[in-house]
Structure 1
Amino acid sequence: MQWGVDPLLGERFVQGLAESFRVVYFDYESYLFSNPYPEGLTAERAARDMLEIADAAEVGRFSYYGYSWLALVGLQVAIRTDRMESLVMGGFPPLDGPYAEMLEVTRRTHELARQNWLRPGASVPPPESPPSMEEHDWDSAPVTVDPQVALQFRTLYESLADFDDRRVQDKLGMPRLVFAGERDMIAYGERFGGVTVDIAGPIERHRRSMEQAGWRVELLRGADMDHVKAMQPDAALPLIKPWLEKALAPR
């Protein structure tokens, strides 16, 4: 998973959870930057990867936490297995998710990456230092990501073009938590289709429906509580850890 600005924050997050749980953690995003599946990263493939990781760690039943697009992947895993004990989705709503908007953004990103690659003298950054897929200044930042890397994320959202998150709620019997920062919304300029990827809005609007479907719903408050801020350990760990302890307590 992508930890944000300071990688030590991710280490602290894992250490906090490890006080109460066995934690299997892995940097799937960096793996995909180094080993892209250009036309193969479908929702089905991503879910299968997660289950294969659980198998490799010799984990039978497990809880899953993912943030942003990795939260989306967690939902795809949950509807394909009976091994999930609990699900935590951060920074992506389980109802009315911005699939169409993200498809437009990733299509434009792929096109811009291809154009940059075709420029004379253009080069792709090394895979060991991938650019973030969550840049704040998308309108002015150059798109230097490898086109093959960009294509796989386009492929992911194309595979979800007809996905209806409302129709899968009855497949989710495990305890589940969704959270986001109340300022989690990114408005993209014309380079990226002029779309707005709104994360907090659907969670606020559909809170009642989510709770009726069995979700614990939390919006983290604060004027600066955006997509990156809400994923940091200081914001997320005090919410996730006690919720997991309660959700997984013996009955």
Structure 2
Amino acid sequence: MPVAKTQDGCEIHFEVMGQSNAPAVMVGYPWCNGWARIQNAMFNGNQASLDTMLEMNRQLVGTLASKYRVVNIEYPRGSAPTTGPFEGDLKAETVAGDYLAVADAAGIQKFVAIGYSWSASFGIQVASRTPRCAGLAVGAWPVLDAPHEQLRGQVDAFARMSPAGSPAQIIMQSNANYYTSILEGWDQESALSSMAAQAGRLYLFVGSNDQGVPGMSVPIAQAIVSSRTRLEQHGWTVDVIDGHDHVSLATQQNVWLGRVMNFFENKTW
């Protein structure tokens, strides 16, 4: 498995699949096998549930690879075999640097980031910081007025309840640090203007009943619907998928993946 080494020494493992001459897309969480193993352990899963998650990852990457050059990252930091997180990780600017380090290691100049939930936020941070991210297809995460403060508190509480030193605790602490970095240093209005340069390649989807993952109730769908007009004015296509919540949309890829691929049909970058 190829490895991208960052300036601070993190080793990010990734795979490249699909057509070598096709436009590149980058996917990580929740469609990487390292995270699947962490999530399975977090919820006391068994081998059968892990196998199901791994198969879902394989199917998503395989479907994308039928048309695109897919860079599948073992990410975020700490999703083994990717190393880290280090003390103070993870920050939004770190994520942007990590994505670019992987793109460099994969020999890719421009890419579209595809993400869901936390990795949708990753994509937004990357796209608002570098023109090398040529577009986004992100789900279940508000571009504007995301509930970072609320999530930081809930994730921090989850980390305190997790076994000390476990991968789940370490990743949740990293997640809380990430939200803190956004609250302290990110201007969403400037980011909205920056991402408008990619108008025509900005796609946001959400289930109409999305209130976050069970146990972490946050107004995901409400925030997206409330900002829909402003997003569309800045070149976004916003797709509200009726009847789905955060979990059902994440686990039923057939509901949204075809929409994503149709959106990017005949687009280049």
**How would you bin the TM-score normalised by the shorter chain?**
0.7 to 0.9
The equivalent residue for 1:61 is 110
For the pair shown, the structure with the greater C-alpha radius of gyration is 1
- Does the CA-based 8 Å contact 2:99-2:126 persist in structure 1? yes
Instruction: Give the TM-score taking structure 1 as reference length.
Output: 0.77
Q: SS in structure 2 opposite 1:160?
A: helix
Instruction: Tell me the residue number matched to 1:18.
Output: 65
8 A Cα contact 2:213 2:246, kept in partner = no
Letter in 1 for 2:208: E
Contact (CA 8 Å) 2:127, 2:134: kept in 1 or not?
no
Q: Unmatched 5+ residue regions in structure 2?
A: 1-28, 37-51
Gaps of 5+ in 1: 118-123, 128-144, 190-194
Q: Displacement, 1:42? A: 0.6
Query: What is the alpha-carbon root mean square deviation over aligned residues?
Result: 2.3
| Counterparts of 1:164 and 1:96, CA distance in 2 | 11
- What count of residue pairs does the alignment treat as equivalent? 215
CA deviations 1:64-104 (Å, max 9, x no partner) are 11111111111111122121221111110111111111111
Structure 2 CA distance for aligned equivalents of residues 242 and 248 of structure 1: 13
- Offset at residue 50 of structure 1 (A): 0.8
Deviations 1:213-236 (CA, angstroms, capped at 9, x unpaired): 1100001112xx111222332122
- Provide the residue aligned with 2:53 in structure 1: 6
Contact 1:2 1:29 in 2 (8 A): no
Give the percent of matched residue pairs that are identical in Structure 1 and Structure 2: 29
Structure 2 partner of 1:70: 119
After superposition, give the CA deviation of every residue in 1:89-147 in whole Å (9 maximum; x if it has no partner): 1110111111111111122223333xx53xxxxxx55x5xxxxxxxxxxxxxxxxx33x
Contact 2:249 2:255 in 1 (8 A): yes
**1:170 has 2:193 as partner:** yes
**Relative to structure 1, is the Cα distance of residues 187 and 51 closer, same or farther in structure 2, using a 3 angstrom cutoff?**
closer
Structure 2 counterpart of 1:219: 240
Give the structure-2-normalised TM-score: 0.72
**Mapping of 1:1-251 within 5 angstroms?**
1-3=29-31, 6-29=53-76, 31-32=78-79, 35-113=84-162, 116-117=163-164, 125=166, 127=167, 145-146=168-169, 148-162=170-184, 163-172=186-195, 173-174=197-198, 175-186=201-212, 196-222=217-243, 225-231=244-250, 232-248=252-268
Q: Distance in 2 between matches of 1:19 and 1:187?
A: 30
What is the SS of the residue equivalent to 2:108?
A: coil
